[in-house]
Structure formats: C-alpha cells, structure tokens
C-alpha cells in the first residue's frame, strides 16, 4: 500500500493510504452522514463524478452483498474513509469494501481524518478535490481542475426497459434512478417503463402510461434546461411524481429557480416537516441543489414539505394538476422508510384520475 493524498482547491492536504486505482482522479468532494448503507451509497448514480467522504468512522464491517446495489455499477470519482475493515462479518457478504472499489477502478483513500475533511467542507462549502500520490501538484491542478455540470447522460438508460405488472403503467424518467425506486413501483404491482432522460412528450404519449415518475440523478438541474418544455408538457398530461433531481426539474419547468447549498444534504436522518399536518418525517437525502422560495409560482404550487434544519423547500404540490414533488428519497435505501407512503399516495392519485384499465400498448 502506498501513501495517497486528498488535495482540496483551498490548498488543504489530507494524507492517507491509497487503495485501488493509483492515478489522480478529480471530483466534487462531498460527505454523507449515514451510519450504514455504504453499498447503496457507492452504487447511487446521483454521486456520479463526486468524491465521497464517509462520516461514519469504520467502513466495510459487513462487506458487500449481491442484493443491495442501487445500480449496475459504481459512478463515484473516489472515496475517502477513516478506518477500513478488511475482514467483514455478515452471512450475505461476498467480497470486501476494498475489493469492490478495486474491481470498479475507483480509488479509495483510507486512514484519513474524515472529521477534519467534513469540518472544512461545512466551513467553506462543497469544493473540487483530487486524490493523488503526488501532493505537490496543487499549483497546476487547481487551475485546470473542473467538474461537469451534469453527468445524467452517463447514468441514464440508453434504451427503454419494460417491467410487466398487473397494476398501473408508470413511466420512470431515468436521470440516474436508484433501483429502489423501480422496486417500490414494482412492489405495488405497477407495470414500469424505464425511459432515457431525453424521452419526449410524444414518445411518452405513445407508451400510454397512467403516470410518470421523474427520478433522482446527478449534477446541476439547470444543465438540463433544454428538456424543461417537454417536462412541463408531460406533467400537464399525466399524474406526476418528482424525486430529488426530478423535483427540481419539475419546479424549473414551471418557472422556479434553483440554488446550490453550501455543503448539501446527504444522509439518512434529515427531518422534514409536512406543512399540511405539521408532522415531522425522518428522510434519506442526497443533493446539492434546492428550489428557491422566492421564485415558486404560488398561484399554482404550494410548498408541501420543509427541511426542519434550514427551512429549505423539500416538496411541492400543484393546486390543480396531479403533480407532487419531493426533494428527499421516499424509497430510502439507505435510510428510513417513513415516507414510503408517497408512492402509495401517488398510485392512489393515478387510480382516481387515470384509466380503470391498465393494459399497455407496447
């Protein structure tokens, strides 16, 4: 094992032991506060291009299994951890955390003071970083490093995928969806068509769905601005549910704006208040961007959820159309399943407003 370094664009350097791929990798450095669920986090497409700092001090203690991946691959640029467990203990474990990253070609810097890294990000905000074996490259790296605004193209399905069920036909717009979203719909008996993120209104109509779910995904939502007119047309025609990036895109399609948080919300313990009932739900979250209050069209939308900690917008509901959006992840994985009812409510809306027959045309 050789020494490795995390260099931040502020000039800060953190030393550790480099595992896996050894050449330099650049990404946006973020952190997640979840105590469990590192496998789901690793495979969440929303983390594409980012360097993930795990707050929990020991990672890898229950290994990697064959069931909990949220996508077919790992999309992160790199991983930062404190203590790495090389001898996992779990009856479903088939390989170690380190073996998983090495197979995927993703560098991991272990033995790092992750508390110090997180404190720096919380103070100065999310920033670019590089994992490298050469700590003196800062002068050249910091001037040339850049991170793409959107990686949705890299994580969205290239072709339509169909999953047969006995209930409503739901189109899942794939901006980098987590498997748990698809599974939640399938568990409710839905027929699901997962479609590329560029799918047009006319193509959606041709699929004859009863509703549309706009998924999570990576990057700045404004990078997908050319798609907003089609998104608006789709939501005007079909019952719609937006999750995370999907929430932001629907808001943008109706004239709202988004802004970037200082260090984002990533973890499984974020309290969200439901405005209508006053009830507080614990939620799983993973995002840098939020819909700004001032630009929401209050004539047509109401804010349905707010973050208890910073009062940011966590959900919207259209006053006349069957459109609901949430910034958090009702499917959890990892995290609490408190808000799973959002899926059942969405399907109830479909049954109230859609066809009584769920036969599909494909």
pLDDT of residue 353: 81
CA-CA distance, 121 to 170, in Å (whole number)?
39
CA-CA distance, 74 to 44, in Å (whole number)?
7
Model confidence over 248-307: pLDDT tens digits? 999 999 999 999 999 999 999 999 999 999 999 999 999 999 999 999 999 999 999 999
Is 248 annotated among the ligand-binding residues? yes
**Domains of the chain by residue range:** 2-136, 152-353
Q: Which entry of 169, 270, 329, 333 is annotated as an active-site residue? A: 329
pLDDT band at 24 (very low <50, low <70, confident <90, very high): confident
Q: 10 Å Cβ neighbour count for 303?
A: 15
- Told to judge if 2 belongs to the known catalytic residues of this protein, a careful annotator would answer no
Q: Would the pLDDT of 356 be above 50? A: no
**pTM, 2 dp:** 0.95
pLDDT of residue 147: 66
Q: How far apart are the first and last CA of the chain?
A: 53
Is 71 annotated among the ligand-binding residues? no
Q: Which entry of 75, 318, 331, 333 is annotated as an active-site residue? A: 331
CATH 3.30.429.10 describes domain 2-136: no
Please give the average per-residue pLDDT across 105-112, as a whole number. 95
- Told to judge if 331 belongs to the known catalytic residues of this protein, a careful annotator would answer yes
Length of the chain: 362
Is 352 annotated among the ligand-binding residues? no
Q: Which entry of 28, 230, 244, 287 is annotated as an active-site residue? A: 244
CATH 1.10.3720.10 describes domain 152-353: no
Is 100 annotated among the ligand-binding residues? no
Rg of the chain taking only CA atoms, in angstroms: 20
Q: Would the pLDDT of 58 be above 60? A: yes
pLDDT of residue 174: 98
pLDDT of residue 81: 98
Cα angle 71, 219, 198 (rounded to 5 degrees) comes to 70
Model confidence over 320-339: pLDDT tens digits? 999 999 999 999 899 999 99
- Told to judge if 274 belongs to the known catalytic residues of this protein, a careful annotator would answer no
Question: In Å, how far are 24, 51, 324, 357, 359 from 210, measured between CA atoms?
Answer: 47, 38, 15, 9, 10
Max CA distance (Å), the chain: 66
Is 246 annotated among the ligand-binding residues? no
Question: In Å, how far are 92, 97, 258, 270 from 293, measured between CA atoms?
Answer: 45, 40, 9, 19
């Amino acid at each position: 094992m050789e020494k490795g370094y995390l260099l931040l664009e502020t000039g800060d350097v953190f030393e550790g032991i480099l595992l896996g791929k050894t050449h330099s990798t650049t990404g946006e450095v973020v952190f997640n506060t979840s105590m469990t669920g590192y496998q789901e986090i690793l495979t969440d497409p929303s983390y594409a291009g980012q360097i993930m700092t795990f707050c929990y001090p020991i990672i890898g203690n229950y290994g990697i299994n064959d069931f909990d991946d949220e996508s077919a691959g790992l999309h992160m640029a790199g991983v930062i951890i404190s203590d790495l467990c090389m001898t996992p203990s779990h009856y479903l474990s088939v390989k170690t955390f380190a073996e998983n990253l090495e197979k995927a070609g993703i560098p991991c810097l272990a033995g790092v003071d992750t508390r110090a890294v997180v404190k720096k990000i919380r103070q100065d905000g999310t920033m670019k970083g590089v994992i490298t074996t050469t700590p003196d490259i800062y002068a050249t790296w910091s001037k040339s490093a850049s991170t793409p605004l959107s990686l949705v193209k890299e994580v969205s399905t290239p072709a339509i995928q169909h999953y047969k069920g006995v209930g409503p036909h739901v189109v899942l717009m794939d901006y980098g969806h987590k498997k748990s979203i698809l599974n939640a719909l399938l568990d409710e008996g839905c027929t699901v068509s997962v479609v590329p993120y560029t799918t047009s209104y006319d193509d959606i109509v041709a699929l004859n769905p009863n509703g549309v779910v706009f998924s999570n995904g990576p990057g700045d939502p404004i990078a997908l601005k050319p798609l907003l007119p089609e998104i608006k047309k789709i939501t005007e025609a079909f019952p719609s549910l937006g999750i995370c990036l999907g929430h932001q895109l629907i808001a943008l399609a109706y004239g709202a704006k988004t802004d970037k948080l200082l260090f984002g919300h990533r973890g499984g313990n974020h309290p969200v208040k439901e405005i209508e009932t006053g009830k507080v739900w614990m939620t799983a979250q993973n995002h840098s961007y939020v819909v700004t209050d001032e630009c929401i069209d209050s004539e047509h939308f109401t804010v349905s959820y707010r973050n208890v900690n910073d009062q940011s917008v966590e959900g919207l509901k259209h006053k006349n159309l069957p459109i609901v959006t949430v910034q958090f992840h009702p499917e959890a994985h990892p995290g609490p399943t408190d808000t799973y009812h959002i899926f059942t409510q969405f399907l109830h809306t479909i049954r109230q407003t859609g066809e009584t027959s769920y036969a599909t045309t494909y």
